[in-house]
Structures are given as structure tokens and as C-alpha cells.
Amino acid sequence: MNKPILPLIVEPKELTHLLGTDQILLVDLSNPQTYVQQHLPGAVYLEYNWIVHSEKPRNGLLPNVAQLGRVLGSLGLTPDTHVVTYDDEGGGRASRFLWTLACVGHTKVSLLNGGLHAWTDKGRPLSQKILYPTPGEYTAQLVNAPIADKQFILDHLNDDNVVVLDVRSPQEYSGAKVFAQKGGHIPGAVNMEWTEAMDQDRQLRLKSAEQISALLDARGVSPEKTIVVYCQTHHRSAHTFVVLKSLGYEKVKGYPGSWSDWGNDSNTPVET
């Protein structure tokens, strides 16, 4: 299989020459109103709710493989398609799509650095043309490597080779803000809010690799360890998953359901 034609984190300038070509599938996960008003030329729209599953009060779960196959097939995706994705909120939704693709072994993927905010900053072209992809068949098969479920975390709570990274706000981490039956965090988890990786002065692009690595190092998050990322539903932490992958962290797992799963289970331990 050919190597990806773009890096995992792609700059707006790098993407410009590929717009309108059949070399990429450009997928927009912005709010639907935003897509109707403006989007990158050639982008197709993907509704975020199609790539997540809810079993109240647990949200942000991974859909079954049949549902994933239908969604990916509806986009006209094939195993050789290079997917470039973005959104209008800093990359959380787009990154959840990339994590989902990782869960079915699709590796030809890129995240537009800064998303729609960075694209529009320099007056780059935009479109209002609604595009409808030609659907096809996509046989999804689950790959477990990018996934950490509740049992995996319980089994590794005292494992020095596993770091649990909570990317919610400090208030959620401490239990001051509670969005489940229980507040607090997974025992032993370290906290780095997902937005700390973003440069607010550069349209939500990522900070430099050196800056992000320093933030991670300070929390004991090192490349040789297995890193489990979580937030409330694995929306924000999907972005952190992609950031870690872009920095060369190989053993990264996302926790689908995240705190909505852990914090709503009366049997799970918590720290505050």
C-alpha cells in the first residue's frame, strides 16, 4: 500500500494544491450551518452524530462495525483513500473522526492544522457548493490498538508503564464541576486540558512540537509508555490522541465514553 501523500498534521498551504483533485477526500465536521455558509472547496459534510453512539447516560461510544461501514461507505471511502478532515471548533470533531478511522485500520489520514479558522485567516478560497459523495461499499473491521475500554484501565491502574491523561478542564478533573453521577478523575490520572496544545494567537493551530512535548514531559507522559486519553465523551481527548500520534507517540489509546462511562458506574474508583 502506498504511503500517505500528506503528513498527519497538514498546514493550509500544503493542502491548497490538492483541492479539487481526486487524491484526497476532504471531510468537513463543522456545524451544519457553518458548512452551508462556507467550507473548503471540494469538502463533503459528515454529521458528527453518525460516528458516535449513545446509551444514556453514556455518550461518545464507538458505533458497531456495521454502522461504521455504512457511514464510511456513504462517503465513498475506500481503503486507499487519503482523508483530510477539519471542523470549525479547533479540531475535536475532526479528530474523533480520525480516531474512528484508526479503529478500523485506516491510516491515510490528515488533520488540517487550525481547521476552518486557520484556513480563512489568509483569505483562502471558500465555497457554498453542497457536494454529495458517490457512495460505495466499505467493510469495516475493528482494530483494538487505538481503544482502551473501562476494563483495560481498571487492569492497568497500578501499571507504571501506562499513563492515563485526563484532558478535561481542571474543574472537571478536581470534581468541582460534575457531569456524571460521580465527579473527580480516574485514580492516578494526570491532567492537561486539551486546549493547552493549541496556540490561541494562531487560529487554534497546534503549538510547536517542543512546546507540547514540554507540557507532556512535565506530567510524566513519555513516548515509551502506553498513553490512555479521556475527557467526558472522547471528543476533546480524540484531539489529544491525534496530537500525540503526530509527535511520534506510538502507544496511544482513546477511551470511548470516557467520563460519561466511568463516572456513571457505581463500581469504578475515583479520585478528587
227 strand-pairing partners: 163, 252
Model pLDDT for residues 124-169, shown as the tens digit of each residue? 999 999 999 999 999 999 999 999 999 999 999 999 999 999 999 9
**Are 84 and 177 found together in one domain?**
no
Same-domain pairing of 109 and 30: yes
- Domain residues for the domain of 103 are 9-121
Angle between helices 236-246 and 92-103 (to 10 degrees): 70
> How many domains, in total, are found in the chain?
2
| DSSP code, position 204 | T
Instruction: Walk along the chain (272 residues) and give the pLDDT tens digit of each residue.
Output: 467 789 999 999 999 999 988 899 999 999 999 999 999 999 999 999 999 999 999 999 999 999 999 999 999 999 999 999 999 999 999 999 999 999 999 999 999 999 999 999 988 999 999 999 999 999 999 999 999 999 999 999 999 999 999 999 999 999 999 999 999 999 999 999 999 999 999 999 999 999 999 999 999 999 999 999 999 999 999 999 999 999 999 999 999 999 999 999 999 999 99
**Same-domain status, 166 and 232:** yes
For residue 202, what is its C-alpha cell? 494562531
Contacts of 2 (CB under 8 A, 6+ apart): 80
Identify whether 1 is part of a domain: no
Does residue 268 form part of some domain? Answer: no
Question: How many CB atoms are located within 10 Å of the residue 61 CB?
Answer: 18
Convert 148-183 to b/e letters by CB count within 10 Å (16 or more is b): bbbeebeebeeeeebbbbbbbbeebbeeeeeebebb
CA dihedral sign of residues 73, 99, 40, 247: negative
> 96 with 87: CB under 8 angstroms?
no
Q: Is 128 within the bounds of a domain?
A: no
The upper half-sphere exposure of residue 201, i.e. CA atoms within 13 Å in the direction of its Cβ, equals: 2
Task: Note whether 227 and 249 are within 8 A (CB).
Answer: yes
Residue 61 pairs in a beta bridge with 53
Burial class (CB in 10 A: 0-12, 13-18, 19+), 272: exposed
143, HSE (Cβ side, Cα atoms, 13 Å): 15
* Residue 204 in domain: yes
Q: Does residue 100 share a domain with residue 34?
A: yes
3-state secondary structure of 271: strand
User: How many CA atoms lie less than 13 Å away from 190 in the CB half-sphere?
Assistant: 14
3-state secondary structure of 26: strand
Helical pair 236-246 and 209-217, crossing angle rounded to 10 deg = 110
Q: Which of 192, 231, 238, 242 is catalytic?
A: 231
Helix residue spans in 20-168 (DSSP H): 32-37, 65-74, 92-103, 115-121, 150-155
Q: What is the CATH number of the domain that holds 43?
A: 3.40.250.10
Specify if 207 maps to a domain: yes
State yes or no: is 103 an active-site residue. Answer: no
**Both 67 and 165 in a single domain?**
no
Span 100-124, pLDDT tens digits: 999 999 999 999 999 999 999 988 9
Q: What is the pTM for the complete model shown?
A: 0.97
**Residue 166, in any domain of the structure:** yes
